[in-house]
Each structure stands twice: as C-alpha cells, then as structure tokens.
Amino acid sequence: MISSDLRDKLIQSACEARQNAYAPYSHYRVGAAVLTEDGRLYTGVNVESASYGLTVCAERNAVYKMVSEGIGRITAVAVCTENAGSPCGACRQVLAEFAGDVPVWLVDDKGNGRETTLYTLLPDHFGPEHLT
Ligand code: THU
C-alpha cells in the first residue's frame, strides 16, 4: 500500500519531469515516474527524433534510468500527459519486466486522472517466469 503522500510525490515528479519532454514532432509531452522497492524515485520523459522511429517513451526512459543505477523492482508508476493518456503496449511490457501488479496513476498536467494497475493494463502478460 502506497501512502497518499508518496503517491502525490510520484505524480508530482512525473508532471515536473514532463516539462523536460523532447517532443518537437508530436507535441505530446509525457513524463513518467517509477517508485522502487527501496523508496527511490526515477523519472523519464519521451525523447523524439527527427528519425521518427527512434523515439523512446517516457516510461521506458524512467525504467532504463532505474536499471542503469542498479535498481531492479518497481512498486508504483505515474504517467503525466495533457489528457491522462495510457501507456503504450511496449511500455506496459517493459514495466512488467520489473513490476508485479503495481498501482499505475494516469494523470493530466493538473494531477487529475485515474488509478489503475499494471496487470489491468497488461493482462495475461509474458514475463521472465516463462523463460526458466
Ligand atoms: N509516448 C510516451 O512517451 N509514452 C507512451 O506510453 C505513449 C507515447 C510518446 C511517444 C511520442 O513521443 C509521443 O508520446 C506521441 O506518440
């Protein structure tokens, strides 16, 4: 169970990070924040490219930052967009590599939105347990 203080901090971090989004082509700015088992918080933004297909989503950038720091498990996620949009399929899959059925808050730039969970977003997922 995530405290409301921590939830607010996670959401605020995602929305603050969103200001650094590099989205000159789509103009759809995304900020993400992941909370780790040991209470750390990692943020990411979408980074687009003039070679459009090289764009990387905010959620994956947050996860890759976390893994680069040697941290392995996610306990909650927040994603901040202009319209509380939902993570793409690729990001759901990458989040599921490092998280169980954790809470996911999808919010707009005022912090309003909804709470869901990772397995609601990605039911019956393929994961590391299938590769033993
Ligand atoms: N985007 C994300 O950052 N996360 C998602 O889960 C969906 C899409 C970005 C990619 C691109 O820069 C912009 O949003 C429009 O697709």
Residue 131 lies in a domain: no
**Per-residue model confidence (pLDDT) at position 67:** 97
27: CATH = 3.40.140.10
DSSP states of 43-74:
EEE-B--SSGGG-B-HHHHHHHHHHHTT---E
50-59 pLDDT tens trace: 999 999 999 9
46-89 pLDDT tens trace: 999 999 999 999 999 999 999 999 988 999 999 999 999 999 99
Average pLDDT, the chain: 97
pTM over 0.95: yes
Q: Which amino acid is at 130?
A: H
**Per-residue model confidence (pLDDT) at position 2:** 92
Question: Can you read off the two tokens belonging to residue 75?
Answer: 């306990």
What are the E-state strand segments in the chain? 31-36, 41-45, 74-80, 103-107, 113-117
- Structural domains counted in the chain: 1
Residue 55 lies in a domain: yes
Residue 62 lies in a domain: yes
Whole-number Å distance between alpha carbons of 77 and 43: 10
Is pLDDT of 132 > 90?
no
- Residue 83: CB within 6 Å of ligand 1? no
Pairing of strands 113-117, 41-45: unpaired
Query: What is the average pLDDT across 29-41?
Result: 97
pLDDT tier for residue 43 given thresholds of 50, 70 and 90? very high
26, 56, 93: residue to mutate for ligand 1 pocket, most atoms within 8 A of CB? 26
Give burial (CB, 10 Å; 0-12/13-18/19+) of 15. Answer: buried
Is 59 part of the annotated catalytic residue set? Answer: yes
- Residue 87: CB within 6 Å of ligand 1? yes
pLDDT tier for residue 120 given thresholds of 50, 70 and 90? very high
**Per-residue model confidence (pLDDT) at position 1:** 87
Domain interval for residue 56: 4-120
Contact 62, 48 (CB under 8 A): no
- Residue 58: CB within 6 Å of ligand 1? yes
- Residue 48: CB within 6 Å of ligand 1? yes
Question: Catalytic residue among 59, 69, 97, 129, which?
Answer: 59
